[in-house]
A and B are shown apart, each in its own frame.
Chain A
């Protein structure tokens, strides 16, 4: 559990914060991450905004993955998406907009309980 790493791990795990609001964002973020060569598994949690990664440290690193996630329009803790990339996401996914954030917090769906 210590942070020192002895050798480069081919199944390294990491969890990074990525901004987003909905299931469309989830799919976009995961796709952006997994298209990075060396990323084996990428799962984004819509509620905690954490992107859980398994990747090969010999082939890639967190910076590169963050860059790719930012490239599809999603801010990570360290790398912000360019305005151009951000503007490419669907209107309902504009996570920087507070009204859209609020929209996604409303309970969805009718019927049943």
Chain B
């Protein structure tokens, strides 16, 4: 705030009327952007003649020659006395009070929290929470949050899968700034293509979600807000290194170009070029990789006229190599010398948002989002080849207003999607084009007290999914103080991308059995599911300490699903669901502030995810029935320059997980019915030296828990029992890392 300038100038505007003084009061908070101040007090010194500024910061005050000194004041800002000799138009910029003489009325905000008042069950994860684990990318951002489960990497690619309500990420709508981003060809690796430092905050919506972002979400929505050129640091540098050979560098450069335009350049690079095989199975424990990820954002803000815009350009190049330690791609690709794999991804993305707030009527807003992406993955796994090209267009226009008064809000709009897929699966080519045009309407009622409700419906016409209706409903009721009862219900529909979502199948000796039933998507039908949920949140105070308890129950029922059947160890089958498929999830969560700056979070989760396979109704493989989560964080008192220590520890316990059947294998290649239970512990210490510099040191899986033989048939990767998909726990063992963050404003 030190560099906030005190600006005062009188505009020599000729006024016709001499009896009044007119002017405008502005403020500059953390940015150099001037915003009008509403309700600033404007009073003539030693008189009772005063007024306040309106929505645009404007004021009009009676003027007489005797009035010489005008006092302008607003809470949190220095009170200014201005000498007035002529009643010319006055433009005044208020200066925030300095840090030292400011009386702070502030409570520490929780790093992640569930709202007491919103209709949807939304968990907001702030940037403070994101710093608790040195998350390198979005897939690792959820490790301190119990609502999202991060699963262990598969044995070959090192990719982490997330689950919500027991369902895999394809059933979650993942958006960046409300534009669907991790979908289609990006489904499997897409989360690792969003660097952690780019993320400003995350909103996790459990259950059906809103209709405004499309029809695909089933289990919930995850939205990542990215850093914004106007509010991010002018310069930010993050460097990270870990003992497993991973090096990362993140740089943000933000600058103001004109009064209204700002731009930011965000660069991410990561590299791992050391080979590790701690379990001596001749396979790399984690792949070699390198990634270059660049984003350029342009932000336009015109507060007076009410326009806001973002334009983003992104480029990504990601290369992974994995397989046997001795594998050399130049000499061994497509040979039996050694088993190896390379996955190369290139992605271009352009997106733009345009928002308008009617300056006269702030509840009338309109927005337009458009994006184009071109995703190209070329890969092979042993002798299996898999390529996918996906070009996608997304457009969404939204209009917000009220009916009668601001207790009744409406959102309506149109959306358009286009997806062009081209896939090569060994010798077979698969291609399809999808497009849809839809309209949505969402009504929100809020009685400003104990009830609010969001009811939405959308109608879409899709070339492969047909014409269909997507209804969604969220209700919140507060029966007594500090509580929220929520109910949600909604429908989702999507086309499964069977190969890209299950591409671990290529790192096995399994054959693909695609049961064509004449459906529109590679012979399969679209997936349709209904999701219902109840949630109860209760805040409390015990011994003067605040806490809250959440009890959630969610159920997803599939009307149709593309069943991914791993139950025969020699093949993987895809077929339309015949019978039941559902996911039930119960979660109990406790958050408690034990002492000043010391928080504890505990959660228990129960999952019951079952599907009717051809071989019977079975639990989904590798989904534990029980999970326990515990997190505690403590920070020391912040000193004046922002220096402090922060400590954070997360414990995860997973119950037994079912292995898909291996009973037809030779005895030597049979697995038990279930995996053992396991617990992992992560911890991180951050030393903040000042608001501009901090270093952190952490460990993942400190107790060194490992799955001993993650790869079945590792000794003969070209044999008939080779399978890398039976991964239930960490492969690498304990891992330590250190990093630093530096910024300049």
Query: Which A residues have a C-beta under 8 Å from some C-beta of B?
Result: 1-3, 11, 13, 15, 27, 30-31, 34, 39-42, 45, 47-48, 50, 52, 54, 107-113
Interface pair A112/B107, CB less than 8 Å apart: yes
**B206-224 interface (Cβ within 8 A of A):** none
Whether A110 contacts B406 in the complex (CB less than 8 A), given A1-B60, A15-B52, A31-B449, comes out as no
Alpha-carbon gap, A109 to B104, bound state (A): 10
Interface SS of chain B: helix, strand, loop or mixed? loop
Interface pair B596/A110, CB less than 8 Å apart: yes
Q: B402 near A: Cβ within 8 Å?
A: yes
Whether A1 contacts B448 in the complex (CB less than 8 A), given A40-B406, A50-B39, A111-B107, comes out as no
The 10 tightest CB contacts between A and B, nearest first, are A109-B107, A112-B108, A47-B75, A48-B39, A50-B39, A111-B596, A41-B406, A111-B108, A107-B105, A40-B405
A-B contact pairs, 8 of them (CB 8 A): A2-B17, A27-B448, A40-B405, A48-B74, A107-B103, A111-B596, A112-B106, A113-B638
Interface string of B398-414 (1 = CB under 8 A from A): 00001011110000000
Query: Which B residues have a C-beta under 8 Å from some C-beta of A?
Result: 17, 22, 38-41, 52, 54-55, 58, 60, 74-76, 103-108, 360-363, 402, 404-407, 448-449, 593, 596-597, 637-638
CB distance from A42 to the nearest CB of B (A): 7
Alpha-carbon gap, A112 to B54, bound state (A): 34
Alpha-carbon gap, A34 to B105, bound state (A): 29
Interface pair A54/B39, CB less than 8 Å apart: no
Interface pair A48/B41, CB less than 8 Å apart: yes
Alpha-carbon gap, A41 to B449, bound state (A): 16
Interface pair A27/B449, CB less than 8 Å apart: yes
Alpha-carbon gap, A107 to B106, bound state (A): 7
Alpha-carbon gap, A90 to B183, bound state (A): 51
Task: Tell me which of A40, A41, A113 has the highest count of chain B C-beta atoms within 10 A of its own C-beta.
Answer: A40
Closest partner residue, chain B, to A38 (CB atom): B405
Interface pair A113/B637, CB less than 8 Å apart: yes
Interface pair B106/A109, CB less than 8 Å apart: yes
CB distance from B24 to the nearest CB of A (A): 10
CB distance from A83 to the nearest CB of B (A): 24
Residues of B within 8 A of A111 (CB): 107-108, 593, 596-597
Alpha-carbon gap, A21 to B517, bound state (A): 67
Alpha-carbon gap, A65 to B405, bound state (A): 14
Alpha-carbon gap, A111 to B105, bound state (A): 11
Alpha-carbon gap, A32 to B638, bound state (A): 41
Alpha-carbon gap, A41 to B74, bound state (A): 22
Interface pair B108/A109, CB less than 8 Å apart: yes
Alpha-carbon gap, A42 to B41, bound state (A): 19
Interface pair A39/B405, CB less than 8 Å apart: yes
Alpha-carbon gap, A111 to B634, bound state (A): 11
Interface pair B54/A34, CB less than 8 Å apart: no
Interface pair A50/B104, CB less than 8 Å apart: no
CB distance from B245 to the nearest CB of A (A): 37
Q: Which of B58, B104, B360 makes the CB contact (< 8 A) with A107?
A: B104
Alpha-carbon gap, A41 to B637, bound state (A): 41
Residues of B within 8 A of A107 (CB): 103-106
Alpha-carbon gap, A113 to B407, bound state (A): 35
Alpha-carbon gap, A34 to B447, bound state (A): 10
Closest partner residue, chain A, to B107 (CB atom): A109
Interface pair B407/A34, CB less than 8 Å apart: yes
Residues of B within 8 A of A11 (CB): 360-361
Residues of A within 8 A of B406 (CB): 34, 40-42
Q: A47-B76, A107-B104, A107-B105 are in contact. List 11 more A-B contacts (CB 8 A).
A: A1-B58, A15-B39, A27-B449, A31-B448, A31-B449, A48-B75, A107-B103, A111-B107, A111-B597, A112-B106, A113-B637
Alpha-carbon gap, A50 to B62, bound state (A): 20
Residues of A within 8 A of B60 (CB): 1, 3
Alpha-carbon gap, A30 to B448, bound state (A): 8
Interface pair B39/A41, CB less than 8 Å apart: no
Alpha-carbon gap, A77 to B596, bound state (A): 42
Residues of A within 8 A of B22 (CB): 1
Interface pair B362/A41, CB less than 8 Å apart: yes
CB distance from A92 to the nearest CB of B (A): 13
Residues of A within 8 A of B103 (CB): 107
CB distance from B455 to the nearest CB of A (A): 21
Residues of A within 8 A of B363 (CB): 40-41, 54
Residues of A within 8 A of B448 (CB): 27, 30-31, 34
Task: Tell me which of B40, B54, B58, B74 has the highest count of chain A C-beta atoms within 10 A of its own C-beta.
Answer: B54
Q: Which of B41, B75, B106, B402 makes the CB contact (< 8 A) with A113?
A: B106
Closest partner residue, chain B, to A9 (CB atom): B360
Residues of A within 8 A of B17 (CB): 2
Residues of A within 8 A of B41 (CB): 48
Residues of A within 8 A of B407 (CB): 34
Alpha-carbon gap, A72 to B696, bound state (A): 53
CB distance from A17 to the nearest CB of B (A): 8
Closest partner residue, chain A, to B598 (CB atom): A111
Closest partner residue, chain B, to A14 (CB atom): B54
CB distance from B501 to the nearest CB of A (A): 43
Residues of A within 8 A of B38 (CB): 45, 50, 52
Whether A50 contacts B597 in the complex (CB less than 8 A), given A41-B405, A108-B107, comes out as no
Residues of A within 8 A of B106 (CB): 107, 109, 112-113
Alpha-carbon gap, A39 to B106, bound state (A): 32
Alpha-carbon gap, A3 to B61, bound state (A): 11
Interface pair A50/B52, CB less than 8 Å apart: yes
Alpha-carbon gap, A27 to B597, bound state (A): 30
Alpha-carbon gap, A11 to B401, bound state (A): 13
Alpha-carbon gap, A1 to B59, bound state (A): 9
Residues of B within 8 A of A13 (CB): 54-55, 360
Alpha-carbon gap, A93 to B564, bound state (A): 60
Interface pair A48/B52, CB less than 8 Å apart: yes
Interface pair A40/B404, CB less than 8 Å apart: yes
Alpha-carbon gap, A15 to B57, bound state (A): 12
Residues of B within 8 A of A48 (CB): 39-41, 52, 74-75
CB distance from B450 to the nearest CB of A (A): 11
Closest partner residue, chain A, to B637 (CB atom): A113
Interface pair A52/B39, CB less than 8 Å apart: yes
Alpha-carbon gap, A50 to B54, bound state (A): 10
Alpha-carbon gap, A27 to B55, bound state (A): 20
CB distance from A24 to the nearest CB of B (A): 11
Alpha-carbon gap, A20 to B76, bound state (A): 19
Alpha-carbon gap, A111 to B60, bound state (A): 42
Alpha-carbon gap, A31 to B104, bound state (A): 29
Residues of B within 8 A of A50 (CB): 38-39, 52
Alpha-carbon gap, A56 to B604, bound state (A): 52
Alpha-carbon gap, A54 to B401, bound state (A): 13
CB distance from B143 to the nearest CB of A (A): 24
Alpha-carbon gap, A82 to B404, bound state (A): 29
Interface pair A52/B55, CB less than 8 Å apart: yes
Residues of A within 8 A of B402 (CB): 40-41
CB distance from A107 to the nearest CB of B (A): 5
Alpha-carbon gap, A52 to B57, bound state (A): 12
Closest partner residue, chain A, to B593 (CB atom): A111
Closest partner residue, chain A, to B364 (CB atom): A11
Alpha-carbon gap, A50 to B361, bound state (A): 18
Interface pair B405/A34, CB less than 8 Å apart: yes
Residues of A within 8 A of B637 (CB): 112-113
Residues of B within 8 A of A42 (CB): 406
Interface pair B39/A112, CB less than 8 Å apart: no
Alpha-carbon gap, A69 to B360, bound state (A): 24
Alpha-carbon gap, A15 to B106, bound state (A): 27
Residues of A within 8 A of B39 (CB): 15, 45, 48, 50, 52
